[in-house]
Each structure stands twice: as structure tokens, then as C-alpha cells.
Chain A
């Protein structure tokens, strides 16, 4: 029932250049994905294609194995919630929620329950809402859509920390009650990391990595110690970043080769983990893969 998503050789060109070039991606159903990328990396373009907000310049976008473009049976059960939502500003909050009823699966009672919990003023006009409340309204509509593929694009913007927390909680509860496919695009990586099963990193219009969360979390490591010993241990490994202070050197590597950990430990080097956020920063550092363009 829940939707898988596939991109095959997808390119999306805008007038001022490629937003996505030759992207291949396979997202299985029933998982929560994190979509990471710097500003302008192509996250929103990717989501816009999955929701049929846009048509790819070339390539195929399949949801549940079917072309998504102009496919009512599919798009009625795909929800992309963009920052601030897509509302008629002159509508009341209640009317904006009720617009969602155009989806046969929309759960109005649930939407109104959430609206009450998040203290949305139903009678106010959408244009009178603060940025945070507007984001909440968008998130509420996304949850209540009860879609088979639900995507939140930076929907947390403007929400304060307790509201974000409550939103993630509700998202997880809804997900467990009714497993479906979820994609969260965000910059607050560490905040959502625990909710994710897999992570897709987009960089300059391409898929840089698509891994299980644990693989990424296990991936990086920092080796700190005397410069010579660090260099020896890190030789031949993919180096993401390095720093030196006097004779002490710290190197962040993407992954260990077999035996590296043991050798580093016996050489007395300090081995530290790399947080997802730091790993992301290193992986998408322009000076690192700048040569590709």
C-alpha cells in the first residue's frame, strides 16, 4: 500500500542551469528518509519531482512503480509540504485545512485534533498567522493527509524548539500507527537523526550518498595524535578533513580500512566519532569535491 519512489536518469533543467543531473535513486516503501544537502543542492527540486510539482526535463519519476506525472491515483496519496505551505492566504485556517479534503484519504477529525493541540486559531486568516504558526498549519495538513508518501521540505522553519519536538513526536506516532514512506528535508540534521532509517545526501544536483543511518554514523572517525603516527594510520584512507596544532594532528577519515582501528589504537592515537552533522559538512565541502565541476 505504502509508496516506493524511483528516479531513473532524471535531469531537471531550469533556465539558469541544471537543478538535477542524471539522478538515480531508489527509495523503498515504509521507511523514514532524511534528505540532506546544502542550499541549492537540489533537495527541493528532487521533492518537487516526486510530488509531480514539476516535470523532469528527461528521465522517469516513478511512485509505487507508476509514473507520477498527472496520475490522480498516485498524487492524491502523495503529499509534499513546502515551507509555509501552499495555502490561499485569504482563507481562514479552518478553510485551509478543509481544502485537504480534496484527498479522499484526508482525515479532517485528526487535522482538527492536531490544530487544537498545536493551538492553531481556526477562525483567523492564514495571512494573519506568524511564520511559526504557518509552518505548524502546513505540518498539520501534511500529517492529516494520511498520504502513502509524505514529504516535509524544511517545514520546521519558524517553529520553536518545543513545537519542533512535538511535531517530530507526532510524526513518529503517526508513522508507527500507519507505516508509510516519509522524507524529511532539513538542515537540523542532529535533531532528526534518530527518527531516520536512511539518509540521502544531495550535492550539486547529484546523489552524493544514500545509506542507512547507522552506516553513515559509523562511517567517519577522527584520529588524533602525533602527526607522523596519524599520517601513517590514515595513509590510503579517504580523508575528509585535517587539522594540525603544533605536533598534534587530527584527521577525519570517511571510513576505516580493515585493521586501521587496531593499528591506530596500538599506536596510541585517540579515535573519536564524527557526528552526522560534521560528516555532512565534510562530505559536502566545496573545496573537497570542487574538482568535479
Chain B
């Protein structure tokens, strides 16, 4: 991690966050490139046999949510012993994770935002319809404004998924055999909120969306506010789990 060179003690938490974000994006760059390529070329291939009426980037963006949770959890799980053994405090690590989460969510959010807008132009040129499948019907993103508004919520959703992954990763390290079970309640909350944002059906197991029925009457603003609150709450929870985490012994 080049970001770690010539750092100072007070700022190293930020350097580490920056370094991890850079390393993670670099590590997954081919996956990301492949996903982008597939998002543009996929519909082209499909158009040979069927009519294109759904936004491929919607699916790409949804898969990236699970990917985000996985990256947050996996990285934190590995970073806890490594960075504490390298002489960092748990507080510093939690700040670094926060920086990583913000940068990661911003980067993927920006990518999906750009992807959806580019798709809008692309579909327009091809004469396809950029639609999003909801619970009852397909909503067509008819204008640039529709697409931009739809795409703008992704960074927030990534943050929520990132925080969820971080809680699960920290818990799995801390409670060796049982920690990962937090996955069920946490993903249920996040996934249901996600569903509720656009009344859509994001990619994922149906059970995880069970809470959606309680949010049916919520307005979009309330759902988004709820998502932000949940993301913040999960981030605080991850920090709480992390803050006095003991390192596991080598010979269990």
C-alpha cells in the first residue's frame, strides 16, 4: 500500500483507509471491468432474441450491493488481527474502515450513477426502454431526470450494505462460531429498506425482504432517511464491537 509510506501517527488512520480503498479497488479491478463490460454488452446479445425493456445496470448495481457487504466484512475480518498486530488501535482501525466505506461507496455509487446515465443514452440510441421492475409493474425511466434521481440513491445504499458487512465481519471475528448469525437480522433490515426505496425487487433472497410489508406506506423520503439512520446505526455498532475486540490466540 503506497499510501502507508511516510505517514505520521495522527493521520495514519486516514492513510490506512485510503490505502485499503485503493488496494481493494485495484484488487477487484478486473471484476469491476468485467461487470461494466457485461452491463453494456449483455443487452446487445440479448437483443438478438428478445426485446430489451429492463435496465441491465439496475442488476449490476444490485449485485454490487452484495459485493460491497462481502468486501466490508471480509476485509475487516482480515484487518483486525493484522492491523492490531501491526501496532494500531481499534479506534484507528474503525476510523480507517469508515474512510474505506465512504470511498468505496462513493466510487461504486459514482460508477453505477454513470453507468445508468450512459445506459440511458445507449438505450435511447438503440430504441430500447430503460425499465425497472417493481413489485407490481415495470417503471420506465423515461427522462434523464428520472434516471439520475433513480441512480442517485445508490451511494447511500452501498453505505448501508458496507456498514452491514462491517458489523457481520467484526462480529464473526469476535464471536468465533456465532458472530456470523447477525447476518440474518441485519440483512433483513437493510434488504427490506432497499426494497422499499423504489418499491422494487432487488436481487436477493425473498426472506430478507420480509420487513418490507411494514414500510409499504412509508414515503420515499422516510425510507431514505430510515436507510441513512440504519447505515449510521450499523456503523456505530461495528465500532462498538470493534472497540474492545480481543485478538484471537494463534493456537486455538
What is the interface of chain A, defined by CB distance below 8 A to chain B? 44, 48, 51-55, 70-73, 75-80, 82-88, 95, 98-104, 108, 145, 147
Instruction: Please list 14 pairs of residues, one from A and one from B, whose beta carbons are closer than 8 Å in the complex, sorted by A's number.
Output: A54-B246, A70-B90, A73-B9, A83-B250, A86-B82, A88-B78, A98-B1, A99-B1, A99-B86, A100-B86, A102-B7, A102-B12, A102-B88, A104-B8
**Contact residues in A for B81 (Cβ distance below 8 Å):** 86
Question: Does B151 sit within 8 A of A, measured CB to CB?
Answer: no
* Central interface residue in A77, A83, A98, A99, by most chain B CB within 10 Å: A99
| A48-B246, A104-B9 known, 4 other contacts, Cβ within 8 Å | A71-B89, A72-B91, A102-B7, A145-B87
Which 5 interchain pairs have the tightest Cβ spacing? A86-B85, A53-B247, A101-B4, A54-B246, A76-B87
Q: Mark B85-100, 1 if CB is under 8 A from A, else 0.
A: 1111111100000000
State whether A79 touches B87 (Cβ < 8 A). Answer: yes
B90: chain A residues within 8 A (beta carbon): 70
**B86–A72 CB distance below 8 A:** no
Point out residues on B near A: beta carbons under 8 Å.
1, 4-5, 7-9, 12, 16, 78, 81-92, 243-244, 246-247, 249-251
A53 and B249 alpha carbons, distance in the complex (Å): 9
Q: What number of A-B contacts does a CB cutoff of 8 Å give?
A: 83
With A53-B247, A98-B4, A104-B9 given, is the CB distance from A70 to B91 under 8 Å?
yes
Q: Which B residue sits closest to A91, measured CB to CB?
A: B82
- CB-CB under 8 A from B84, the residues of chain A are 52-53, 86
A101 & B247 in contact (Cβ 8 Å cutoff): no
A153 to chain B, nearest CB (A): 8
Tell me which of B9, B87, B250 contacts A78 (CB under 8 A): B87
B82 partner residues in chain A, CB cutoff 8 A:
86-88, 99
Given A70-B91, A102-B12, A82-B250 contact (CB < 8 Å): yes
The closest CB in chain A to the CB of B2 belongs to A98
CB of A102 within 8 A of CB of B5, answer no
Residue of A nearest to B244 (CB): A55
Write out the residue numbers on chain A whose beta carbons fall within 8 Å of the beta carbon of B249: 44, 48
Residue pair B89, A70 in contact (C-beta under 8 Å): yes
B residues within 8 A CB of A75? 87-89
Whether A101 lies near B89 (C-beta < 8 A) is no
Give Cα A77–Cα B247 distance, bound, in whole angstroms.
18
Bound CA–CA A79/B4 (angstroms): 18
Whether A54 contacts B247 by the Cβ 8 Å rule is: yes
B83 touches A102 (CB 8 A): yes
Smallest CB–CB gap between A180 and chain B, Å?
Answer: 14
A contact residues around B78 at 8 Å (CB): 88
Q: How far is the CB of A182 from chain B (nearest CB, A)?
A: 16
Inter-chain contact A104/B7, CB cutoff 8 Å: yes
Assuming the contacts A72-B9, A73-B9, A102-B7, asked whether A80 and B85 have C-beta atoms less than 8 A apart, the reply is yes
Say whether A101 contacts B9, CB under 8 Å: no
A80 to B88, alpha carbons, bound, how many Å? 12
CB-CB < 8 A to B92: which residues of A? 72
Q: Are A82 and B85 in contact (CB under 8 A)?
A: yes
Q: How far is the CA of A71 from the CA of B88 in the complex (A)?
A: 9
Inter-subunit contact B87/A147 (CB<8 Å): yes
B40 to chain A, nearest CB (A): 30
User: Given A72-B92, A101-B4, A104-B8: A55 and B87 within 8 A (CB)?
Assistant: no
Chain A: minimal CB distance from B184 (Å): 24
Q: Is the CB of A101 within 8 A of B87?
A: no
Cα–Cα, bound, A52→B83 (Å): 12
In the bound complex, CA of A70 to CA of B92 (Å): 9
Q: Residue of A at shortest CB range from B90?
A: A70
**Residue pair A101, B244 in contact (C-beta under 8 Å):** no
- Cα distance A82–B5 when bound, in Å? 24
Residue of B91, B92, B249 with most chain A CB atoms under a 10 A cut-off: B249
> How many Å lie between the Cα of A86 and that of B84 in the bound state?
9
